[in-house]
């Protein structure tokens, strides 16, 4: 019992010394491998726990910016062992900050951070690190899209178009291999834009989307007429997909009818009535991560359906056995069209036609 007092004092002294060591570590200057860096996450976690919800978001976004700055310094010094922990801490902080109160800041920050990851990815030839920086870029896009859902509709459309313009401009200015990759990233944002417009079904958003797409068409046409065969072929596919998107948006907008209040008599039928031609419906989807995005596309009975499938990350083979359709070997970055007449209602699975980790890619629904 007599020793309990000195032991308690000694324990308190050690705790105070540990806290002093944690909170005396320079926040921005201490780097992986330096003395005291191991205390840095503990210090930041303790600081974050003392903040309110809104301040935590700002703190997380600030942490994400610091991690990127640290990563760039380590990248310049070629300290490969620091890349993974810094990327993981960036991803955790950035995705945590993607909330309603910081939506605008997160989206804006993503446009600054994304190109920095792209530069590191393109400047290194080690495949695992290339994948690491690309993963960080993709998680930046994920955080941006999470935040976009909290913004006003007009701002959402403008920010999506801004991301699309970023990759289009890089595709025009990059060598063929990089241009092809940038076109794939443009398609990813354009498909997200299309799915969002379809889900919202808002005439104001659709009108804004039409204007933004109209501005992109000259650049898309320039890529579609490129002197480089690989860029030209992919550019034509992207141009076609964007054209289909534009047609879908126009079809949702109300059509103004001249003199709609004036009743006109129906013309008398002359001769036998000819059967009407089936309505042509053009749809588009992306094959990525062994799945179809969107996971389900819809058509109406009696429509002539053309589903453009773009392989975004590898070569795909697909089959819709109930419709008797198979598309084999859709190469990476190319688009193939799955065409059929919708003569029966139902849900038709789009399946893998080769050796795949996921047997089902998505569904075609005819109503």
Tell whether the model's pLDDT for residue 91 goes beyond 50.
yes
Tell whether the model's pLDDT for residue 264 goes beyond 50.
no
Cα distance between residue 155 and residue 148, in whole Å: 8
Q: Which residues pair with 350 in a beta bridge?
A: 362
Task: With CA atoms as reference, report the closest residue to 361 among 110, 241, 352, 300.
Answer: 352
Q: Are strands 325-330 and 304-311 parallel, antiparallel or unpaired?
A: unpaired
- pLDDT at position 357: 67
Task: Domain ranges for the chain, please list them.
Answer: 36-252, 280-366
**What would the two tokens of residue 25 be?**
């570590």
Mean of pLDDT values over 310-319: 83
Better pLDDT: 308 or 271:
308
Q: Are strands 316-320 and 325-330 parallel, antiparallel or unpaired?
A: antiparallel
Mean of pLDDT values over 202-231: 83
pLDDT band at 94 (very low <50, low <70, confident <90, very high): very high
> Residue 328 phi/psi, 5° resolution?
-105, 140
Tell whether the model's pLDDT for residue 82 goes beyond 50.
yes
CA angle 261, 263, 268 (to 5 degrees): 155
Give per-residue pLDDT as tens, 345-355: 888 888 888 77
- pLDDT at position 255: 54
Please give the CATH architecture assigned to the domain spanning 280-366.
Answer: Sandwich (2.60)
Q: Which residues pair with 299 in a beta bridge?
A: 366
Better pLDDT: 302 or 19:
302
Tell whether the model's pLDDT for residue 278 goes beyond 70.
no
Give per-residue pLDDT as tens, 142-161: 999 888 888 888 888 888 88
- pLDDT at position 28: 43
Task: With CA atoms as reference, report the closest residue to 314 among 334, 295, 296, 294.
Answer: 334
Q: Can you state the angle between helices 153-173 and 203-224, rounded to 10 degrees? A: 0
pLDDT band at 1 (very low <50, low <70, confident <90, very high): very low
Task: With CA atoms as reference, report the closest residue to 154 among 212, 230, 233.
Answer: 212
Tell whether the model's pLDDT for residue 36 goes beyond 60.
no
Cα distance between residue 27 and residue 29, in whole Å: 6
Q: What percent of the chain clears pLDDT 70, i.e. is strictly above it?
A: 83
Q: Measured in whole angstroms, how far is the alpha carbon of residue 59 from the centre of its chain?
A: 25
Run of H or E including 277: none
Question: Is residue 110 a contact partner of residue 95, using CB atoms and an 8 Å limit?
Answer: no
Q: Measured in whole angstroms, how far is the alpha carbon of residue 248 from the centre of its chain?
A: 20
- Whether residue 129 has a cis bond before it, omega within 30° of 0: no
Mean of pLDDT values over 285-312: 83
Mean of pLDDT values over 312-319: 83
Tell whether the model's pLDDT for residue 269 goes beyond 60.
no
């Amino acid at each position: 019992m007599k020793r309990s007092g000195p032991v308690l004092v000694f324990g308190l002294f050690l705790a105070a010394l540990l806290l002093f060591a944690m909170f005396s570590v320079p926040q921005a200057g201490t780097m992986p491998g330096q003395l005291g860096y191991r205390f840095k996450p503990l210090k930041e976690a303790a600081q974050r726990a003392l903040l309110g919800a809104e301040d935590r978001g700002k703190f997380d976004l600030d942490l994400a910016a610091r991690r990127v700055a640290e990563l760039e310094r380590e990248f310049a010094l070629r300290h490969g062992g620091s890349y993974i922990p810094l990327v993981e801490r960036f991803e955790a902080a950035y995705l945590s900050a993607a909330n309603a109160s910081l939506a605008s800041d997160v989206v804006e920050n993503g446009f600054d951070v994304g190109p920095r990851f792209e530069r590191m990815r393109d400047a290194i030839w080690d495949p695992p690190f290339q994948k690491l920086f690309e993963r960080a870029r993709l998680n930046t896009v994920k955080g941006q899209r999470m935040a976009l859902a909290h913004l006003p509709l007009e701002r959402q459309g403008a920010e999506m178009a801004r991301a699309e313009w970023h990759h289009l401009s890089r595709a025009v200015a990059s060598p063929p291999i990089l241009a092809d990759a940038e076109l794939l990233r443009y398609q990813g944002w354009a498909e997200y834009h299309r799915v969002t417009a379809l889900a919202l079904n808002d005439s104001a958003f659709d009108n804004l989307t039409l204007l933004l797409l109209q501005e992109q068409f000259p650049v898309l046409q320039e890529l579609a007429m490129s002197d480089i065969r690989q860029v030209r072929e992919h550019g034509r596919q992207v141009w076609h997909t964007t054209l289909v998107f534009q047609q879908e948006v126009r079809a949702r907008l109300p059509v103004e009818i001249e003199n709609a209040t004036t009743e006109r008599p129906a013309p008398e039928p002359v001769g036998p009535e000819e059967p009407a031609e089936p309505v042509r419906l053009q749809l588009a989807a992306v094959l990525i991560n062994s799945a179809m995005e969107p996971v389900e596309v819809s058509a109406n009975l009696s429509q002539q359906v053309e589903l453009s499938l773009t392989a975004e990350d590898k070569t795909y083979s697909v089959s819709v056995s109930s419709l008797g359709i198979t598309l084999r070997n859709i190469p990476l970055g190319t688009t193939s069209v799955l065409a059929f007449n919708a003569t029966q209602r139902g849900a038709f699975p789009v399946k893998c036609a080769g050796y795949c980790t996921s047997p089902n890619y998505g569904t075609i629904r005819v109503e």
